Amino acid sequence: MQAITQNKKRIKVQHIVGAGTAQVDVVRNIQLPVRARKIVDIHTEIVELDYEIIPNKVIVKGALHKQVYYVEEGDYVVKEFTVMREEFTDFVHIDGARPDMEALLDGHILFVNTNPASGEFPTDMLYQVAVLAVDVKVVDLMTLDVVTDCYGDGLQVQKAPFSVECLIGAADKQTTVSVEHMLCKPARKIYDMEAVCRDLDYEVLPGRVIVRGTLHKQIYYVDACDDTVQAQSFDNEFSVVLDVPGAKPDMEVYTKCRIEFCEAKLLGPQPCNMVKANCVLQVFAKVTELTRMNIVTAVEGAMSDRCRIRVEDIIGRKCHQENVNQTIDVNLPLDVNNMLVKSAKNMTACVRNVSYEKICNKVIIKGSIHVQVYYVACNCEQELRETSADIPFTTVVNFDAITDDTMIRCRERVEYTDAKLEGAPCETSKIRAVAILEICVCAFQTRDFNVVTNVLSNGTTVQMPKPTVPVPEPEKEDPEAEVCPKGGYTYIVKAGDTLANIAASYQQQVPGITWQHIAQFNNLYAPYLLQIGQVLRIPCVVGKG
């Protein structure tokens, strides 16, 4: 019998176990520091969205971060009050979900309503209802050698187009953000501190991913004069470089940031205004690449091994540039100082409150860009001041084959910002804020594939070389080499340890071990907290033991 020739390609795909949506109602009372005569605006965003998988269920956890803009009774100046965290927990039932799998979460705020708790203004107590939708997708990472072509006498081969996001790699890293701040009033002691990661963005370099974001902190301190608890907010930008071999600039990245630890301490003898805030962040990035190919789904005339997978079949991806600009008057809301601007120094921007709507062959994206402009005012001895605004935008991405049943995933990022005076220095209070926004739309549908992983026959089978990294020659056994003990190595957790650095320290004994191996072997689940003195077993996962 003539030999069968087959071509194969190794892929890493996320097999979709199941999906669902949790609708969460967050109902809270908000205590303002003073009585307000009206609410001007409120910004609400989901932060620290996380999960825990138990058999057939995904526990969804997160918090709402709110900024309430109000006008105080008897005044006309708009003031801001921050609600750092309103925690929520819910679950989604997904058959087949297991703790060793991964969940992909996407949260949306559907509705927010704020009213006086007493029914009328002025009031210092607000009643707020927020309705959230958290889309949950449970995936199981599978590595497959799929047959892309097959030749031989009497064979009839069926093929199908296959367009999926293949996993290139993932990495996580701890980083410390340590900054000194000046408090508005002398503090007798620090009462508490809260922090959240906001406005995550990334840049892909060959073999690396740079994750950027803003650490938003709220420090509560006891005023040394009257012993009242005061709150003050600070924002610090951070960036983390993660090594992801194989990453390229045109690939997609999923990022996540979690606060591991935060504390604030006064500097110097009490009372004092200087405080140092230390926060430890855990930053995660996963890189995928859009892979298009034809795969063999059935073979007649020979035996074959097949595997059934459910994946996101990518219809296409398109990106669109949008120029968003607006004039900002630094005296609005009204400022009693009637400020004039000498120069605009710099500007930061982030995208918020994005929603989309599908119509025939088009996707309409709406949202706002939150800009912060830093400027030097006249007669202020070079003091740097700040003003902010939310600039709404609406844009259209033309996309053939979009229907009501097509699923959409949007990614937005600010690529460029600029701030310029409108008028002569010290003769204007207006600044022109410009931002160039990139919006990428990915259209996909969930499809089941029966992929052929090997073709068999009673005769000889010839397999063409696979376009993957060649398997190294097996090393000769060294009788003096270390033998992994039965049940794995034993490790005792020390201060500062994480699963990632423990896995890195065992690369020589167990090459290729990851923190996920250690977590699964020890039945550890998110958020993967370790305790000093805790005993961990390190599995022999790569050819030992």
Q: What is the rounded distance in angstroms from the CA atom of residue 251 to the CA atom of residue 235? A: 29
506 & 399 share domain: no
Q: What is the rounded distance in angstroms from the CA atom of residue 387 to the CA atom of residue 346? A: 11
Full residue range of the structural domain in which residue 18 is found: 12-140
- Tell me if 530 is assigned to some domain: yes
- Tell me if 533 is assigned to some domain: yes
Structure tokens, 521: 């072997």
pLDDT tens by residue, the chain, 545 residues = 457 888 999 888 899 999 999 999 999 899 998 999 888 878 888 888 889 999 999 999 999 988 888 888 887 777 888 888 889 999 999 999 999 899 988 888 888 888 898 888 899 999 989 899 999 999 998 888 999 998 888 889 999 998 888 999 999 999 999 999 999 899 999 998 989 898 888 889 999 999 999 999 999 999 988 888 888 889 898 999 999 999 998 888 989 898 889 999 999 888 899 999 999 999 999 999 988 899 999 998 888 898 999 998 888 888 888 899 999 988 876 544 678 888 888 888 888 778 888 887 888 888 888 888 888 888 766 667 888 888 999 988 888 777 777 888 888 888 889 999 999 988 898 999 999 998 888 888 888 888 999 988 644 444 444 444 443 444 444 443 455 666 678 888 887 788 878 887 888 788 778 888 888 888 777 667 777 778 788 887 654 33
Can you name the residues that pair with 29 across neighbouring β-strands? 127
Contact (Cβ atoms closer than 8 angstroms) between residue 414 and residue 324: no
215 & 279 share domain: yes
Summarised one tens digit per residue, pLDDT across range 397-413 is: 888 777 777 888 888 88
Closest-CA residue to 66 (of 119, 7, 26, 16): 26
pLDDT at 518: 84
- Tell me if 299 is assigned to some domain: no
Residue 496 sits in a domain whose CATH number is: 3.10.350.10
- Tell me if 295 is assigned to some domain: no
pTM over 0.85: no
Structure tokens, 129: 């209802």
- Tell me if 219 is assigned to some domain: yes
pLDDT at 327: 92
- Tell me if 451 is assigned to some domain: no
Largest CA distance in the chain: 95
126 & 176 share domain: no
180 & 106 share domain: no
